Structure 1
Amino acid sequence: MSSAFPGLGTLINVAAITVGAVLGMLVGHRLSAHTRSVVTDCLGLVTLLTAGLNAIMVTDGSLAATVGSGAPLLIVLGSLLIGGISGSILRIEDRLESLAGKIQAAVGRKPGSKAPVEHEGAETDSSARERFIEGWMTASLLFCVGPLTILGSLNDGLGRGIDQLVLKSVLDGFAAMAFASTFGIGVLLSAVSVAVVQGGLTIAGVLLGSVLPDAHIAALTATGGLMLVAIGLRLLNIKQIPVGDMLPALIVAPLLTQVVISLR
């Protein structure tokens, strides 16, 4: 499918996420707490499935052929360690929580409104903020990591069509609906994350005129897959892993892959 202009695929993707999130929020408040908990568990399981499909890229043939058979696992490990240490030093998780709290407060505040009166069973500010952050980070990572995101956006910028992004838009729209029914407006904010990430990749495709090598994409996808595992564990309340601190790993992975290639 040809594109009328670079970036059309990303616009369609953002629109699909926005519509899906709005629909999810409209029906979400009608669900009981138990039903929302079941939905969250289902999302956690599907996230783990998506994580496995992405993480298996560590065995990708192009990556092994480019960096050597023993290097892919070390690249993923190194990316997570370097990215995680860097992120913890920069306190990315804490900063994201602070930023998300401010955005949530700004979005939820109405002119002339008074502070809500707390009552038994009401959602506290801290739990609401945690739910907002969880929805934003989970949806953003799920929508922004993967071969469809990278290849689709780059191919859009190169004028090679938007077929991959159209497919991704359909998948993301339904996922956004499911996530927003549980996490609310935080999922809607992930549309901004998608616009920034995919928009940047589309611009990169326009400027560079060439796609990212398959080996680099495989390393990035595998690293992102393990981060999705962490998200899945958080959704299932197994372990609250600071995924935000690991975000630099997504930048480190292709860079580390290039370093290994240069040293061979």
Structure 2
Amino acid sequence: MSGTIVNVVLIIVGSLIGSVFKRGMKDSYQDILMQGMGLAVTALGVYSISKHMPNSHYPVLFIVSLALGGVIGEKLDMENRFKNIVSKFSKGNLAEGLSTAVLLFCIGTLSIVGPIESALNGNQTYLFTNAILDLVTSIVLAATFGIGIALSAIVLFCWQGFFYVAAGAVAAYITPELLTEISIIGGVLILSSGLSILGVKKFRTMNLIPALFIPVVYLSVKSLIGF
């Protein structure tokens, strides 16, 4: 798991660097950085959607997934539970920053395929590439939201650790079509985070996260029944 460990360490390092920048910033600079971060996250969401949508064999699946996932997330009240947990450790908008960080760090091909490649073939390329990207992203996020962004490294470790440990069992199910559907939904969630940061509308993005698991269930059932 050396690739994952490097990824985690670089997120923590990036968060430390970003938090140092944040302490020396005037409010006006923090505001413009927040706007820049919001635009960047929005652009990443649009890019992910536009990149993967043409490759989808199930153009309605992401809509159904968002609808069902949203109902499940709302029933579990994931957004408020998450905010309540974060508020015990920090005030301000850290919850918004953390949810954005978790989506950016975890929902992507590199962070899913990377640990599987590491476990099965000893190939760390995907994880090291992901680590460099996450270093830069964590610096910007921490400069915007503070040192608390480092907590996302724990989520990343658990996420990639799961795929690493379960590599043999899940590798056959991580198909290109599944990654495509997850990436589309992930793009929509990242887009909603960006719009929330910009203040266009405060989306309850955390309540939509269960949508990511609907394609897994659908495609698994489809494969089992041979339909």
**TM-score normalised to the size of structure 1?**
0.81
Matching residue's letter, 2:134: D
In the alignment, is the contact (CA less than 8 A) between 1:79 and 1:250 conserved in 2?
yes
Instruction: Decide which of 30, 37, 44 is 2:31's aligned counterpart.
Output: 37
Structure 1 residue ranges (4+ consecutive) displaced by more than 3 angstroms after TM superposition: 206-211, 257-264
Cα deviation for residue 58 of structure 1 reads 2.3
Matched, 1:26 2:20: yes
Secondary structure, aligned partner of 1:238: coil
Instruction: Decide which of 167, 179, 187 is 1:205's aligned counterpart.
Output: 167
Matching residue's letter, 1:73: P
In the alignment, is the contact (CA less than 8 A) between 1:13 and 1:166 conserved in 2?
yes
Cα deviation for residue 258 of structure 1 reads 3.5
Structure 1, gaps ≥5 residues long? 1-6, 65-71, 105-127
Report the identity percentage. 25
Instruction: Decide which of 40, 53, 58 is 1:58's aligned counterpart.
Output: 53
Matching residue's letter, 2:65: S
Bigger helix share: 2
In the alignment, is the contact (CA less than 8 A) between 1:84 and 1:247 conserved in 2?
yes
Aligned length: 225
Secondary structure, aligned partner of 1:103: coil
In the alignment, is the contact (CA less than 8 A) between 2:18 and 2:147 conserved in 1?
no
1:82 is aligned to 68
In the alignment, is the contact (CA less than 8 A) between 2:38 and 2:197 conserved in 1?
yes
Instruction: State the distance in 2 between where 1:151 and 1:19 align.
Output: 24
Matched, 1:99 2:85: yes
In the alignment, is the contact (CA less than 8 A) between 1:24 and 1:176 conserved in 2?
yes
Instruction: State the distance in 2 between where 1:204 and 1:59 align.
Output: 30
Secondary structure, aligned partner of 1:239: coil
RMSD: 1.6
In the alignment, is the contact (CA less than 8 A) between 2:118 and 2:164 conserved in 1?
yes
In the alignment, is the contact (CA less than 8 A) between 2:163 and 2:170 conserved in 1?
no
1:224 is aligned to 186
Instruction: State the distance in 2 between where 1:259 and 1:58 align.
Output: 22
